[in-house]
Amino acid sequence: MSGFACRHSLPKSQNLDLRTMAGQKVRTRFAPSPTGYLHVGGLRTALYNYLFAKRMNGDFVIRIEDTDQSRRVEDAEKNLISTLEWAGIIADESPIHGGNYGPYVQSQRLSIYRDYCTRLLEDKNAYYCFSTSEELEENRQLQLKQALQPKYNRKWLPEEMGGNMPESEIKKKLDEGAPYVVRMKVPDYISVWFEDMIRGPIEFDSATIDDQVLMKSDGFPTYHFASVIDDHLMEFTHIIRGEEWLPSMPKHLLLYEFFGWEPPKFAHLPLLLNPDRSKLSKRQGDVAVEDYMRKGYSNEAIVNFVALLGWNEGEGSEQEVFSMDELISKFSLERVGKAGAVFNVEKLSWLEKQYIKTRPIEKIVEGIKPVLQAKLAEFSPEMSVERISSDDYLGKVVELMRERVNFEHEFVTFSSYFFFEPESYEAEAVAKRWTPEVPALIQEFAELLEASDDFTAENIEAQLKAFVAPKGLKPAVLIHPLRIAASGVSFGPSLYHMLEVLGKEAVLRRIRRAIERIEAPVA
């Protein structure tokens, strides 16, 4: 067999991640194209790159791959970076943070790619191709019809590189200024091999690889070309990216070989999947991190959740909730699985609840205050704004509601009766609980409350029980109507605590109002 075998191997080590690379600082990157929003799969890729870099005391950088002008979206780059920062993923180097390896935007590195392309051309590892897209398409159809592998037919491969095109023809086209692309010349029958940090050894046969376009006719490089050059020049030690890049590995490896560069280590992450196990896509639900932000998921929950999709601590660990710092200290590529993972929103929601239950009250108050204040301005509240927008009052509401809320914003929506009088009374609950004897009963109890100075949960409870017992009634006959009168709904926190927080004045007013407004069901 002629040609060269291109073999890049990594020693198989138990501690692949932790092996310090001969004094070399670990550098990883996230290289999105600015086509709009941040995909949750992209978030996970960025996260793993970040975690790995930080775990190894290395640097994490963001590079923007905008070599496709037609797909450029305004502000996408800024959004991408700010969404990552929201998630707690802060780059050491990026277009906006700067760094010593810039520019970090590929469209600003065009001359670099041109220079390296010239080198490839000179070394006869690449060649000009003047085939039009129509020709290529025609060729593709023809091959498809013959059940052949659609592949470039090497029409413009020069004679001196083993093709059929005379040098003179190429020169003529060039002189005419005809549009062209530059293609890499893939050696015919060699084996390209590497060791993936997650998947182990993988081998490809060069015969199945197309002569990939390196430079497009608009003078921009293709992804394959630009990323290899940048990954080398920016001195990344580890390339951690999605599994969808696995099939283009041989092209990339060949480029490293052409340039005589030592390739970095590669780790191809399993894909994030739709419920039907296809690649996570927009069609089957939300895929943008922004979508989840909008729904009210917190950065903590999303990061935690996405981290667990493909990675686990192992060794019998049963921990489900991880902070970013814990993730950094525990993450390792060895513990990343090979199989795709379905993005299961239910578990995300469960995680969100876990965070709501443990988040410091002050922090929640701080988060809901602006929303609440806007609402208070819009509708006039029942009680004094000073009181109900005080940290003290809000803290009490949060304390009562935190175990019954799914998102932080629900503290405002589910708790509206802590700020506004109920506008209506839940019909079903009224039908079931507001029996004909209730108005008189509740009226009598209200008078009792009014006469008392101690409006605490304990005392209200004691009063209610003492009130109801001699009548031979169960507390429930009063508890439910009181809840309806005070909140208008049948679900909520502990009644006594709810009443205490609402305060005597508001509670009495609401009871009176309920008696007036609720029609007792006909017995």
Of residues 40-79, those binding RNA (CB under 7 A): 65, 67-68, 71
Q: CB of 312: closest distance to RNA in angstroms?
A: 4
User: Distance (Å, rounded) from C-alpha 192 to C-alpha 206?
Assistant: 7
User: Distance (Å, rounded) from C-alpha 251 to C-alpha 190?
Assistant: 12
Does 296 engage in binding with RNA (CB under 7 A)?
A: no
Q: CB of 142: closest distance to RNA in angstroms?
A: 13
Stretch that binds RNA, among 120-128, 160-168, 348-356, 377-385 (CB under 7 A): 348-356
Does 95 engage in binding with RNA (CB under 7 A)?
A: no
- The interface with RNA within residues 410-469 (CB under 7 A) comprises 461
> Is the separation of the CB atoms in 46 and 84 below 8 Å?
yes
For the CA atoms of the chain, what is the radius of gyration?
A: 33
Does 202 engage in binding with RNA (CB under 7 A)?
A: yes
Which CB atom, from 223 or from 355, has the smaller least distance to RNA?
A: 223
The only residue of 82, 108, 118, 132 in contact with RNA, by rule CB under 7 A: 132
User: Distance (Å, rounded) from C-alpha 352 to C-alpha 337?
Assistant: 24
Stretch that binds RNA, among 1-9, 314-322, 324-332, 510-518 (CB under 7 A): 314-322
Which CB atom, from 7 or from 216, has the smaller least distance to RNA?
A: 216
Does 197 engage in binding with RNA (CB under 7 A)?
A: no
Q: Which DSSP category does 226 fall into?
A: H
**Residue of 282, 363, 471, 474 with catalytic role:** 282
Q: CB of 379: closest distance to RNA in angstroms?
A: 24
User: Distance (Å, rounded) from C-alpha 394 to C-alpha 363?
Assistant: 11
> Is the separation of the CB atoms in 212 and 184 below 8 Å?
yes
Is residue 54 among the annotated active site residues? Answer: no
The only residue of 46, 126, 269, 308 in contact with RNA, by rule CB under 7 A: 308
Does 246 engage in binding with RNA (CB under 7 A)?
A: yes
CB-based contacts of 256, cutoff 8 Å, min separation 6: 8, 228, 232, 262, 263
Does 222 engage in binding with RNA (CB under 7 A)?
A: yes
The only residue of 341, 372, 388, 515 in contact with RNA, by rule CB under 7 A: 341
Angstrom CA distances, 428 to 330, 432, 435, 479, 521, stand at 51, 6, 12, 16, 11
User: Distance (Å, rounded) from C-alpha 483 to C-alpha 477?
Assistant: 11
Q: CB of 337: closest distance to RNA in angstroms?
A: 5
Q: 259-270 burial, b if ≥16 CB within 10 A, otherwise e?
A: beeebbbbbbbb
Residues β-bridged to residue 215 = 182, 221
Q: CB of 479: closest distance to RNA in angstroms?
A: 4
Which positions are catalytic? 282
